[in-house]
Structure 1
Amino acid sequence: MQWNSQPHIQNTPAGNLHLSAAVAFNGASCIQIHKVLSALGVECICPRTFYNHQKAFLHPTIYWQWRTEQNTMLEKARLSGKAVVLGGDMRADSPGHCAKYGSYTMMNLDDNKVVDIQLIQSNEVGGSPRMEREGFLRSLQFLESAGLRVGAIVTDRHPSIQKYLREQRPEIQHYYDTWHVSKGLAKKIDALGKERSCGEVLAWRKSIINHLYWCASTSKTGQEAVEKWKSVTYHMQNVHHHNSDLFPVCTHPPLEMRAWLTPSTKACERFCDLMLHQRLLKDVGKLSRHRQTSSVEGFHSLILKFAPKNVAFSFLGMLNRLLLAAFHYNENANREPSVRVKWPKYKKGEHSIHYVKTAPTYNYVETMLRLLFEEVVFNPGPYQELINELKVPDHLCAAFDRPDLQESGARPWSRFSQMEQEPF
């Protein structure tokens, strides 16, 4: 007589597989879960078993579910008959110019959904600085090959992407995200304020950034935005009528005395040169008026929950964790917030209104669990074939190709010895 602690599915212990699926689909760490259960004295599977489950069942399930939902989103966009507005940006898996992976995200800004993620390994393109352009081109090519009509794209000011859209795709409107422009401008104002006799310009820093957003949101054309932006050089000298047909006079009511800049001083001259720099004027003319990439930046922050930057992952491991983050974002991005009134002490009896989002849902986990245990486990062939179509790049480290290391199972990345790694 033989006793089993759990039922089997296709010779695989069901409980073990369910534990692996719960860990993987929630973006958790198998090593941390193993430590927790071991501390409680609970017998559980070892990390090697988890990685075997992941390779055989979990990665194919995640990728299949992503392609299914992606096709649904693209079909909905095609049936609408409208040209979509996309927002794009790249996230690197480490700071600086030494990143191994770069993931380029394309988001449909009309419905706030992630429609495509392209993962690039640095040795595919000859270095990490080239990953953003390659990811953008791959994503745009994929979306257009799927029948999506792209009307406009909002990105940061990446020079290679600017050149490509300007020279090869002039039919696509290219806009710049206002936050990225304001971030660079704020740094230049701070640097100018540190110069001798120019400290007074720092008092105008916040107003200048607000004016930049106002120029972008209230202008119908790029030229109008540029003329409104130029007016700030007159305004700060207490001159509110300008030599411009598009914006001849400031729209604000009469103002009280402020720290106006004195004409012909060093601070005023240097500040005007900064505001009227030709490159800045060109960027202001291409600012996005209604849609920004702040949602893309929010999604990149969410990725840290599923793929922390202090953990090394294989190519498929990183890709599937990015897809899990996309599942979570698409399911919870548009949930309605609740309103909460608070009376903080620093306001001395006055109230403030806070918008609190409702608790997130995890229905995508239940969907993948059903797919796994009802279909993938019993017939993994089609799901494996789909993920086998992915072009996995060569290892970044040449030591992986050494036969002695392959036979011994040694890991050539000693600097990641204390981190969680997936078998390559």
Structure 2
Amino acid sequence: MCTTCSRPSDVTIINTVGTFISTKQSCFHCMYSQVWSSQSKINRIPAGNLLLSAAISFSGSLYTKVLRLMKSMNVLMIGESTFQEHATMYQHPVIWNVWQSQQQQLISQLRDMQGSLVIGGDGRANTPGHCAKYGQYTMMELRLNKIADFQLVQSNEVGGSNLMETEGLVRAVEQLKTDDLEVGVIVTDRHPQIQKWLREELPSVTHYYDMWQKDIHENHSPLYQMCHHRPSNKQWMKQSSKACEELVSLIETKRLLKDMSKLSPLHQTSSVEAFHSVVLQFAPKLLTFGYKGMLARVCLASMHYNENQDRLQAHNKQDKAIYTLKYPKLKRGGHTVQKRKQDATFEYVDELMPKVFEDPRQYWEVWDQIIASPSLVL
């Protein structure tokens, strides 16, 4: 109805851009007309489209799945090229800016702590198998359980995927030195190249191996002298068998016996493994991303982990602790009882969103200083 003469009027669609729609209302009785838009624009970009693309990225979602959802609801959606343009111009520079800001706060906190850093380090490949494109090396301060630094290495930078983990460690150590942070203890797996590099380049750093990857039943610590489970009476193999001889020869190797003395007595890298499982939510291994896209997603995972790493156990309305049942594959139908933690928070998204609607050019210069490695030649 015409807002002037209250008579029927004609409404036509002028334009649609993703979630944006504009219409024109024309009254042929009093000749009144007006143009209506469903949302405002920021730098000539519909605000709803920019908000949608930011929400997809910041939540760790995938464009293709969101597109399928919107099509199922028959709701207009931005195109993939538009989404990628928004990510390049707005989201990725903002993510890097907020991550660097949070890291500076963490670095200040680490400098104020007593003693040198206790670091847990581990590498992660972005794809299954031995032909990964990216290698991510994570350094976590184990006393705070927060990501002190991570490095993303592309395989053609170092001559092969088997060299990415060591290179990631080297870069992470250099970054900590640049931040004027001193590493006192580092806990890693038994990677031979990492052992050699730490032994030669950082002789003053105490290097421990992760006990989580070993099976020790006695002399855990002065408090717990042995495991609480009952000893197994099951005969796995005969003492005189070939299999038993091979097992004994493996267990009694000089390298293994030597490494046993370097197992970490306190801190382990299980928290680093937990963080790597969080990265899977933002960057699934079955998908490939560009270097800067992968870097931005690991930054998001790091911010999410650092914010939620110290969640307490959840309680119901009667203030009773809540537990949940898990059914791991190794239990073959059996279950384990675990504490249910409080719901995760996403305050880092509240920090990211307002910056998306600011002038993005203030973040471009720093983001453009990151030089992506050349694409892999197949």
Q: Please give the TM-score of this superposition, normalised by the length of structure 2.
A: 0.79
Structure-1 residue corresponding to 2:346: 362
Say if 1:262 and 1:26 are closer, same or farther in 2 by CA, change over 3 A.
Answer: closer
Report the 3-state secondary structure (helix = DSSP H, G, I; strand = E; otherwise coil) of the residue aligned with 1:123. Answer: helix
Check if 1:317 corresponds to 2:293: yes
2:137 touches 2:168 (CA, 8 Å); kept in 1? yes
Pairs within 5 Å for 1:244-255? none
Say if 1:44 and 1:84 are closer, same or farther in 2 by CA, change over 3 A.
Answer: same
Work out the CA distance in 1 between the residues paired with 2:252 and 2:296. 46
Say if 1:13 and 1:163 are closer, same or farther in 2 by CA, change over 3 A.
Answer: same
1:27 touches 1:306 (CA, 8 Å); kept in 2? yes
1:219 touches 1:289 (CA, 8 Å); kept in 2? no
Pairs within 5 Å for 1:147-296? 147-180=180-213, 182=214, 209-211=215-217, 214-215=218-219, 217-218=220-221, 265=240, 272-296=248-272
Check if 1:110 corresponds to 2:143: yes
Structure-2 residue corresponding to 1:145: 178
Say if 1:343 and 1:337 are closer, same or farther in 2 by CA, change over 3 A.
Answer: closer
Structure ranking higher on relative contact order (CA contacts 8 Å, 6+ apart): 1
Work out the CA distance in 2 between the residues paired with 1:301 and 1:164. 27
Structure-2 residue corresponding to 1:381: 361
Check if 1:85 corresponds to 2:85: no
Check if 1:299 corresponds to 2:279: no
Shift of 1:52: 0.7
Q: Structure 2 counterpart of 1:113, which letter?
A: K
Say if 1:79 and 1:306 are closer, same or farther in 2 by CA, change over 3 A.
Answer: same
| Structure 2: gaps of 5 or more residues | 1-33, 315-320, 327-335
Identity %, equivalent residues: 41
Say if 1:341 and 1:31 are closer, same or farther in 2 by CA, change over 3 A.
Answer: closer
Shift of 1:270: 5.8
Shift of 1:11: 2.0
- Per-residue CA deviations over 1:149-208 (Å, capped at 9, x if unaligned) read 10011111111110111112110011101123x2xxxxxxxxxxxxxxxxxxxxxxxxxx
Structure-2 residue corresponding to 1:397: 377
Shift of 1:40: 1.0
Q: Structure 1 counterpart of 2:347, which letter?
A: N
Q: Which of the residues 340, 344, 366 maps onto 2:322?
A: 340
Work out the CA distance in 2 between the residues paired with 1:68 and 1:130. 30
Q: Structure 1 counterpart of 2:373, which letter?
A: P
2:313 touches 2:322 (CA, 8 Å); kept in 1? no
Check if 1:47 corresponds to 2:31: no
Report the 3-state secondary structure (helix = DSSP H, G, I; strand = E; otherwise coil) of the residue aligned with 1:164. Answer: helix
Structure-2 residue corresponding to 1:119: 152
Q: Structure 1 counterpart of 2:192, which letter?
A: P
- Per-residue CA deviations over 1:33-72 (Å, capped at 9, x if unaligned) read 1221122111121111111111111000000010011111
Q: Structure 1 counterpart of 2:376, which letter?
A: L
- Per-residue CA deviations over 1:206-255 (Å, capped at 9, x if unaligned) read xxx242xx44x4279xxxxxxxxxxxxxxxxxxxxxxxxxxxxx9899x9
2:303 touches 2:348 (CA, 8 Å); kept in 1? yes
Say if 1:158 and 1:75 are closer, same or farther in 2 by CA, change over 3 A.
Answer: same
Shift of 1:258: 5.5
2:325 touches 2:338 (CA, 8 Å); kept in 1? no
Report the 3-state secondary structure (helix = DSSP H, G, I; strand = E; otherwise coil) of the residue aligned with 2:122. Answer: strand
Check if 1:98 corresponds to 2:131: yes
Work out the CA distance in 2 between the residues paired with 1:357 and 1:155. 27
- Structure with the bigger percentage of helix: 1
Q: Which of the residues 131, 136, 143 maps onto 2:169?
A: 136
Work out the CA distance in 2 between the residues paired with 1:71 and 1:134. 23
Check if 1:326 corresponds to 2:302: yes
Q: Please give the TM-score of this superposition, normalised by the length of structure 1.
A: 0.71
Report the 3-state secondary structure (helix = DSSP H, G, I; strand = E; otherwise coil) of the residue aligned with 2:36. Answer: coil
Task: Count matched residues.
Answer: 328
Shift of 1:391: 2.0
Work out the CA distance in 1 between the residues paired with 2:234 and 2:143. 42
1:263 touches 1:269 (CA, 8 Å); kept in 2? no
Say if 1:324 and 1:343 are closer, same or farther in 2 by CA, change over 3 A.
Answer: closer
Work out the CA distance in 2 between the residues paired with 1:321 and 1:363. 16
Shift of 1:10: 2.3
